[in-house]
C-alpha cells in the first residue's frame, strides 16, 4: 500500500510540476495584449488608441469624459471608453490590474495656478479645460505616482509566474532634459516662466520615480518638444523655428514631433520588450518606422 501511495503521490506531484511549467512557459512567451491609455480622449491619447487598435491590441481609454471623441472612426469605435479619474488610486489600481501595460498621455500645459488656464481651450488638442484642482502636481505627478504604485504591486505578483516587468510609456517633455544639455540649466533658470519650471518639475519627478523602480517596471519615457499635425494652428507658426534651431545645433531646442510619429513610437515602445529609458525626437522617429 505504501508503495502504491508513494507512486500516486509522485504522479500527482509530476502533474502539478508539468502544469506549473506549462504556465510558466506561457507567461514567458506571452506578449502585451491589453493596454490602458490614461488620457485616451486627448490629442496624443486618441492617436495612440487608434494605432494600438490597428496593431491588434485590446485597448481601454481612461479619462474624465470617457467618451469617444471621434464616434465615426472605425478604429476608435473598438476602444473601451471608461470614465475614470486617475487622481484616485483605487481607479488606477483596478485599471492596471485589468491590463498588461499602460500609456500615460494625460496632458496639461497650463495648470490652474499658471494664470493661463483658459488658454488650454486653444492649445489643448482636445479643447479641454482644467478643473479647480488641476495642478501640475495633481495631474502629472499624482496620476503617474498612482499608476506606478499600482504597477509595482502587480509586478510583484507577476514575478511569481515568471512574467516580465510591467510596461509603462510616459509622455514627458523635451525640456525635462534641459539639465543634461549645454546651456539648458541657464535657459531654465534665467528665461523660463515659473509655470514652466513647475511643469518640468512634475515631469522630472515622474521620470525619477520610474527610474527608481526599474527592477519591477519597464518604463519608456518619451520627450517630445512641440507635438503637432496640420490641424494644430496654434503651434504651426513655431514649427519651422524649432526645427531650424534644432538643425543648427542649438542644444536646448529639440526638433518638433508629429503626433502620428509620437503615437507610432509609443506603440513600438510597448512591443519591444528590450526598450526602456528616455527617447528623444531622433529615437522616436526611428521607432515610428518599425
The model's pLDDT over 44-80, given as tens digits with 9 standing for 90+, comes to 999 999 999 999 999 999 998 899 999 999 999 999 9
Residue pointed to by grid coordinates 481651450 = 121
Q: Is this prediction's pTM over 0.85?
A: yes
Residues 172-196: tens digit of each pLDDT = 999 999 999 999 999 999 999 999 9
Contacts of 48 (CB under 8 A, 6+ apart): 37, 40, 103, 105, 263, 266, 267
Write down the pLDDT at residue 25.
Answer: 40
From residue 249, give the alpha-carbon distance in Å to each of 37, 252, 254, 286: 34, 9, 9, 20
- Name the pairing type of β-strands 227-228 and 257-258: parallel
Amino acid at each position: 500500500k505504501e508503495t502504491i501511495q508513494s507512486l500516486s503521490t509522485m504522479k500527482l506531484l509530476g502533474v502539478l510540476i508539468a502544469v506549473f511549467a506549462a504556465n510558466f512557459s506561457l507567461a514567458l512567451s506571452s506578449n502585451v495584449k491589453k493596454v490602458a491609455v490614461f488620457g485616451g480622449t486627448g490629442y496624443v491619447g486618441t492617436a495612440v488608441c487608434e494605432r494600438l487598435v490597428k496593431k491588434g491590441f485590446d485597448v481601454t481609454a481612461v479619462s474624465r469624459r470617457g467618451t469617444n471623441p471621434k464616434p465615426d472612426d472605425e478604429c476608435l469605435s473598438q476602444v473601451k471608453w471608461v470614465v475614470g479619474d486617475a487622481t484616485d488610486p483605487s481607479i488606477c489600481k483596478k485599471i492596471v490590474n485589468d491590463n498588461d501595460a499602460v500609456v500615460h498621455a494625460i496632458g496639461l500645459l497650463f495648470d490652474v495656478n499658471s494664470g493661463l488656464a483658459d488658454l488650454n481651450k486653444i492649445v489643448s488638442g482636445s479643447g479641454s479645460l482644467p478643473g479647480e484642482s488641476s495642478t501640475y502636481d495633481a495631474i502629472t505627478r499624482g496620476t503617474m505616482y498612482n499608476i506606478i504604485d499600482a504597477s509595482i504591486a502587480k509586478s510583484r505578483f507577476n514575478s511569481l509566474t515568471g512574467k516580465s516587468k510591467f510596461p509603462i510609456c510616459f509622455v514627458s517633455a523635451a525640456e525635462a532634459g534641459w539639465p543634461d544639455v549645454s546651456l539648458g540649466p541657464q535657459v531654465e533658470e534665467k528665461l523660463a516662466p515659473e509655470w514652466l519650471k513647475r511643469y518640468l518639475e512634475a515631469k522630472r519627478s515622474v521620470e525619477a520615480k520610474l527610474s527608481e523602480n526599474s527592477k519591477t517596471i519597464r518604463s519608456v519615457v518619451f520627450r517630445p518638444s512641440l507635438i503637432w499635425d496640420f490641424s494644430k494652428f496654434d503651434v504651426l507658426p513655431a514649427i519651422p523655428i524649432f526645427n531650424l534651431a534644432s538643425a543648427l545645433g542649438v542644444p536646448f531646442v529639440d526638433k518638433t514631433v508629429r503626433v502620428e510619429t509620437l503615437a507610432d513610437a509609443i506603440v513600438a515602445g510597448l512591443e519591444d520588450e528590450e526598450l526602456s529609458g528616455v527617447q528623444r525626437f531622433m529615437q522616436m522617429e526611428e521607432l515610428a518606422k518599425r
